Structure 1
Amino acid sequence: MTPHTSPDSTTWFEDNRKNWDDRAAVHRASGYGIPELIEDSEAIPSTLAPDVDRLGDLRGAAVIHLQCHLGTDTVGLSRLGASRVVGVDLSGASIAHAREIAEACAADIEYVEANVYDARSAVEGSFDLVYTSIGVLCWLPDIDAWARVVASLVSPGGRFFIRDDHPMFMAVGEDVSDGLRIDQPYFQLVSPLTWEDEDSYIEAAAEAPKIVHTRNHQWNHSLGEIVTALVSAGLVIDVLEEVPYSAWAPWPELMVEDEGRGYRLRDRPERLPLQFVIEAHRPE
């Protein structure tokens, strides 16, 4: 990937939207666990399954899934019993695919095409659970503004849940030929890291379309910045957990798949957190 810089947030979001429109087509054509969801009406996506016990009984709950992409986790949330399920995503192509997938799964889901920063104005009502996961925060330039949107969507007494890539994991560079090295920013910066990347995070099927809009912009946010932003927005942190497992393997030569929990470092996995989980609530 080749880094660039850009000063314009409107351009950043438009570049990312086009990039994710292309990724949506690649992911849909490559499977993405969608056939299994359609074939088995009780199937839960592998990305959601580790947190089913954490989320608990959602029967009768209103749930919103921010940055939902193709909506596979959104379908899973619907299958956990939620009475109202809303998915929000910046990418119109992702939303179009998500609607088709929900229909094929007989899942009653409302999908809204909107930037996550506009979610409060784009969606009516408040929610018992605001959910987002995985690989979401790196696409956002302002973590404080994001946290305020999240808090505005949570009903009094309601909950917020996020599982995402750990910012220390994101700070490690791509070149690991000499071992793990901190090469990217750990703290939020105004300007993003901007990349030209023809690949996505899953292996594309041979018949999948190509990613044509390759430019995308990403930001890292420290764990302290994330927690402080949520607390400042009025949420109470109930759980903060760091784990040595990841949903993807950016360094295949250094990682192994571990008993369905994802990928970990082959040697001394205790060296590096790869994901974090935050559970929070809005006081009554």
Structure 2
Amino acid sequence: MSEVEPAYLSLNRANWDDRAPLHAAAPDYEVQAFVDDPHHLSGVVRFDRPRLGDVTGLVGIHLQCHIGTDTISLSRLGARMTGLDLSGVSIEHARRIAAAAGADVDYVVSDVYAAENALSGRTFDLVYVSIGALCWLPCVDRWAAVVAGLLRPGGRLFIRDAHPMLDTLDRDETSGLLTPVWPYFETPDPEVWDEDATYVAAAEGDEHRITHTTTHSWNHGLGETVTALVGHGLLLTLLEEHDSVPFSPFPGMVVDEIGEWRLSERPASVAMSFTLGATKPG
């Protein structure tokens, strides 16, 4: 008897299926730049390039790759990349963009928790995770077990994601102050959202719409994430917190030349994102 798919998976997949064509056409994703310039890299990868080190020849898997612009960027730095995402529509766009950009990237449709089966037991030198990933997963410990299973001995995890501190905050409409509203720590039940907007501006004239508006998300404390990885045998090699993030979570933020957004006042007061590295012994 086949297992019934959890409701969060069906809801989130439908929402990301709707987002994919919007994002593929949105200026912020710079799809045309990938096609026109064989050396173009995503802002996310450019930001972390000094921390990534040399990836030449590494066999990598990008979990929750969405439309694959970060995946292509790692391929252009010399890694042999596979991208994996639960949204079949996102993967269709990822394949189209990679073909147009001349990038040799493989793509697989799968939920993260089913990645080991979907990848037929393959293991990798590099597991890569980029912005906006962990919040869609109900259990960070289960995610860490998947990462450990995908890594070869000596392989490494590299993740840049929104900081869980950021994900607690909302701007008070009266005072204008950022206030912690949402849970910092992982909770059994999700936060349920009903939103027909996404985090980037649509291309002018784009008539695609988000019709599947309900999503489920969870926050995971930074300590919970580190503890989960260590608990599954990985060794922490890097943990850096940043005052910027590559999207604008609140009105009134300022953007730099590579698309990183910061608070316009007192940016050092809030951790916006983090970069983490870990290795599998062996």
TM-score, length of structure 1 as denominator length: 0.93
| Structure 2 counterpart of 1:46, one-letter code | G
The runs of 4+ residues in structure 1 deviating greater than 4 Å are none
In the TM superposition, residue 239 of structure 1 has moved relative to its aligned partner by: 0.8
Q: Distance in 2 between matches of 1:80 and 1:157?
A: 20
List per-residue Cα deviations over 1:2-28 (Å, max 9, x = no partner): xxxxxx971111000000000001111
Are 2:165 and 1:164 equivalent residues in the alignment?
no
**Maintained 8 Å contact 2:247/2:259:** no
Change (3 A) 1:37 1:261: closer
Q: What is residue 254 of structure 2 aligned with on the other side?
A: 256
Q: 2:185 aligns with which of 187, 201, 208?
A: 187
For the 8 Å contact 2:84–2:109, the answer to whether it is kept is yes
Aligned 1:1-284 pairs, distance under 5 A? 10-31=6-27, 32-82=29-79, 84-124=80-120, 125-178=122-175, 179-208=177-206, 209-253=208-252, 255-260=253-258, 262-284=260-282
- Indicate the SS of the match to 1:221: coil
Greater Cα shift, 256-265 or 18-27: 256-265
Aligned to 1:3: none
Q: Which residues of structure 1 form unaligned runs of 5+? A: 1-7
- Answer yes or no: is the 8 Å Cα contact 2:43–2:259 preserved in 1: no
Task: Verify the 8 A CA contact 2:43 2:246 in the aligned structure 1.
Answer: no
Q: 1:200-236 CA deviation, whole Å, 9 max, x = no partner? A: 0001123320111111111001011010011101110
C-alpha distance in structure 2 between counterparts of 1:38 and 1:177, whole Å: 45
The number of residue pairs the alignment matches comes to 275
CA distance in 1 between counterparts of 2:5 and 2:181 reads 24
Distance 1:107-1:260 versus aligned 2 partners, 3 A rule: closer
Q: Is the 8 A contact 1:29 1:207 kept in 2?
A: no
Contact 1:245–1:261 (8 Å) recurs in 2: no
**CA deviation vs aligned residue, 1:167-211 (integer Å, no higher than 9, x gap):** 010000244542011000111111111111110000112332011
Query: 1:36-69, CA deviations, whole angstroms, 9 ceiling, x for partnerless residues?
Result: 0010011111121111222222222101000000
Q: Report Cα offsets for 1:78-100 as digits up to 9, x if no partner.
A: 10111x31100000000000001
Residue pair 1:133, 1:162 contacting (<8 A) in 2 also: yes
Give the secondary-structure state (helix, strand or coil) at the position aligned to 2:44: coil
Counterpart CA distance in 2 for 1:86 and 1:177 is 46
User: C-alpha distance in 2, partners of 1:188/1:143?
Assistant: 8
The share of aligned pairs that are identical, in percent, is 47
> What is the Cα deviation at residue 29 of structure 1?
2.2
Q: Aligned residue for 1:4?
A: none
Please give the secondary structure, in 1, of the residue aligned with 2:170.
coil
CA RMSD in angstroms, aligned pairs only: 1.4
1:213 partner amino acid: H
* Deviation of the 1:271 alpha carbon: 1.1
TM-score (norm 2): 0.94
Equivalent-residue separation in structure 1 for 2:92 and 2:58 (angstroms): 25
